[in-house]
Structure 1
Amino acid sequence: MAPGPSNRLVVLAGPTAVGKGTVAAVIRDDHPDVWISVSVTTRPARPGEVDGVHYHFVSDDEFDAMVAEGALLEWAVVHQAARYGTPRRPVEEALASGRPALLEIDLQGARQVKQNMPEALFVFLTPPSWDELVRRLVGRGTEDERERERRLETARVELAAEPEFDVTIVNREVHAAADELVTLMKAPLRAPSSSS
């Protein structure tokens, strides 16, 4: 069944450290009517992350099995290290139920979803500036220097993908960005127009 006006999938992507996870967490807390996909990953949990809430943490073998079974809507190797993916069945169930549905994923995953579900709305979350992105990445203190450099290199490439998306939201303040995203998610679908 194709998604209807009330249940179009919204895909949120953007560069590393832009705050995608933080925006999704605010939406999870403030808008319980919005369904948010929980990705699977082979990376270890960071301090404070809860299995099944932030991610489903799985082994490489479990991830391989999900890929082989076609159980993932998308998956990718991120930062040349861990694998991340979106379980397919929960997305299909959320769309069938008519709830606003959000995927918060990386750029590679967003491109795969665009191939599989081109009717989704693709939203790019961007930082107010490059310096702010660097400050956020360094400030969260979850990566060592080598990992930070790898993520910043990835971010340079990811920022160049903004034109591939339908809408851009600048993450100046996380609650404002979350509210802007939810407003987009709940807006009725309308036919594209030639004037803006």
Structure 2
Amino acid sequence: MADTALTAPPRSPLAHAAGRLAAATRASGGAVRLAELPFLAQVNVRLDAKGPAADAVALALGLQLPLEPDTVVRAGELTALWLGPDEWLLVGPPGTQHDLEGRIREAAGEEPVSVTDVSAQRTTLLVAGPRARDLLAHGCALDLHPRVFGPGRCAQTALGRTQVVLVARDEARAGFWVLVRSSFAGYLTDWLLDAATEYV
């Protein structure tokens, strides 16, 4: 008999917590909305922001890589996060990572560029609702006021003592993405659920 374990569909690191996240959302009456966004494509890109590869890659992707620190650029379903002067994280729909990698490598040609699929490294939690900022503020040292960390901002920071990439989505009602390493996702989910009890 064939070993089906090798052909089983992938399982997200928070599949076991989906019911608890949904229950917390219902119990809060919409004050907070918690959910996992599993399997988003995540591709780390490093290149010279002033070199010819940057323009070629931007053209191939259909979006300009953000040059201002801690900002986000979005075009269609593709989001680019500034992580450093020569480093970005591209986030796209599930299953698009190989296409993104190929487009970047082809566009860069012989120019020096590093492209790494890190999709399996992290999962993404959605934290939304009118009290989303208050919930995140329980465990994040950043000033999350909309004037400081409004739509289109991102940061590498700690949330509940866990390293994350925090993204303020491009509409205030869209809430936040919390990109967290898969090995810490369960802990961070428990932390968020515990902190959310204030709004239940």
Instruction: Report the TM-score, using the length of structure 1 for normalisation.
Output: 0.28
Higher strand share: 2
Rg larger in structure: 2
Higher helix share: 1
Instruction: Report the TM-score, using the length of structure 2 for normalisation.
Output: 0.28
